[in-house]
Each structure stands twice: as C-alpha cells, then as structure tokens.
Amino acid sequence: MSTAQKSKGNTGERKIADFLGKLYEAKFIRVPNSGAFLGGKNNHRAASMDAGQIATFKADLIPPTHMQRLVIESKFYAEFPFHALLKNEDIAILDKWIEQARIVCDPQDFWVVVFRINRRGVFAAFDEKHLGKFTVANHSRYKEFVITEFEKLFTDNRDAIAQLSAS
C-alpha cells in the first residue's frame, strides 16, 4: 500500500473515531499501525494473546471498554459499484471487507464495515440479524447484510448499538 493510500485510510479512521467519540462521549482510537493485525493470514496471532489484547486488535478502531463488543472495519475507496446492489450482483470488494470484519469476531460481537466512497458518502454494512433492533429508514440489502448511511445508523441507534456492544 502506498504512503498516500495509507494516509487516506488513517484519515478515514480518525474521522470515524472522532464522530463516534462525540456521539458516545467516549474515546475511540485508531489501532496503531492498523491493517489486519489479527485478520486474514494473521488470525493465528490470537492463539498467543489474552482477551484484552485480542479485543484491542480486532479491527481498525479500539472502542471504549464499555463497548468492547463493537468491531469496526474501516475502508476508504474512490469507487464502489452501487449499481450491483440494485442488480443483486456479487460485489467482491464488499465480500472481502465483510469477511475481514467477521473473521476476527466472536459470536456475540457486533461488527460494522464502514466505507467512505469519494464524493458519495460514508456507509455502513452489518449483519441483517440486527436489523430488527435498529431504526434504519434508508437501506439496501446485500446477501444477508444491510447497507445504510453510517452516521445515521449510529445517530438513530446510539443506545441500541451501545447495548449490543456492551462488554
């Protein structure tokens, strides 16, 4: 990954952390040198780590302790094939992002893939099994997942997400 791409990703992670920090009046921080420390081919690292260490390195952001079950994977891309959502086509990049979030999760974790697309907005993908717990007005379904606006999802469901993510 180039330095410019890494910087762009870091900026996106900071913006998400700042938004959530203000919303929950708590500290969300970027994982230092984030980039799948435990995900993908690095999943074996978890075998030698304790629960606190695993929780810290699950995704791109470290939530406050009282929301330790919140797993956020952050992406920042120039383009996204939104048309494929309407055509019920597979979206390989979205499948990859979701797998990156899910592979590090415990069954009781609430994972969210947050993706910023240039000049389009910031969106969130999560497991549709949680849809009934939230108020989500505008959304699309993709396979067994829900895609919606990131800030609206968290603003409209602040308390429900905090409860779902509670340690």
pLDDT > 90 in the chain, percent = 66
Give the C-alpha separation, 13 to 17, whole Å. Answer: 6
Which residues are 125's β-sheet partners?
113, 147
Out of 13-27, 31-45, 125-139, 151-165, least confident range: 31-45
The mean pLDDT of the chain is 87
Tell me the three state secondary structure of residue 20: helix
**Secondary structure element (H or E) that encloses residue 115, with its range:** strand 110-117
Q: pTM value?
A: 0.85
One-letter identity of residue 53 = Q
pLDDT tens digits along 11-66: 789 999 999 999 999 999 988 765 556 655 666 766 776 766 666 667 889 999 89
Confirm if 165 and 63 have CB atoms less than 8 A apart.
Answer: yes
**How buried is residue 45: exposed, middle or buried, by Cβ count under 10 Å (0-12/13-18/19+)?**
middle
Give the C-alpha separation, 88 to 104, whole Å. Answer: 27
Q: Is the pLDDT of residue 6 over 90?
A: no
Tell me the three state secondary structure of residue 22: helix
Residue entry with tokens 């406050």: 64
Give the C-alpha separation, 105 to 64, whole Å. Answer: 17
Show me where the domains of the chain are located.
3-164
Give the C-alpha separation, 88 to 29, whole Å. Answer: 35
Confidence of residue 137 (pLDDT cuts 50, 70, 90): confident
pLDDT > 70 in the chain, percent = 81
